[in-house]
Amino acid sequence: MKGEKKMENIKDKIFASVGIVLVIVIFFIVFWLLFYQESTYYTRIDNTKVEQLNSKDMRFEYTLNAYNQKGDSKEVTFKTSRELKDDAYLKLDIMITRGVKSWEEVQYDDLPDKVKEHYN
């Protein structure tokens, strides 16, 4: 009898330990996806595709095609406080959960070669 109880206690502890480890792993995966998963895309400003908003801070919304280093396309939407310079190239930092996190203007020569192919 005592041997069976010890085995049950050991099994219970193993199941509890595995459960705790799984919860921790899932937590870190979700945390990584929410806060650290980031990719870089590049786009060119087209002010014919800007929409004016009735917001005090972010007054303009752009929806543009953007390309990553491999040349893969993605439609991105982001807001700005001012209208951007037409035909300017932007580097966009995009998170899965938040969309465009930040952007900065870059020169054509700074674009990856696969991205340049889309803007020749």
Q: Is the pLDDT of residue 46 over 80?
A: yes
pLDDT score recorded for residue 37: 67
Handedness of CA 31, 36, 42, 44 (dihedral sign): positive
Span 13-41, average pLDDT:
83
The tens digit of pLDDT for each residue in 63-86 reads 999 999 999 999 999 999 999 999
Over residues 22-49, the mean pLDDT reads 85
Rounded to two decimals, what is the model's pTM? 0.70
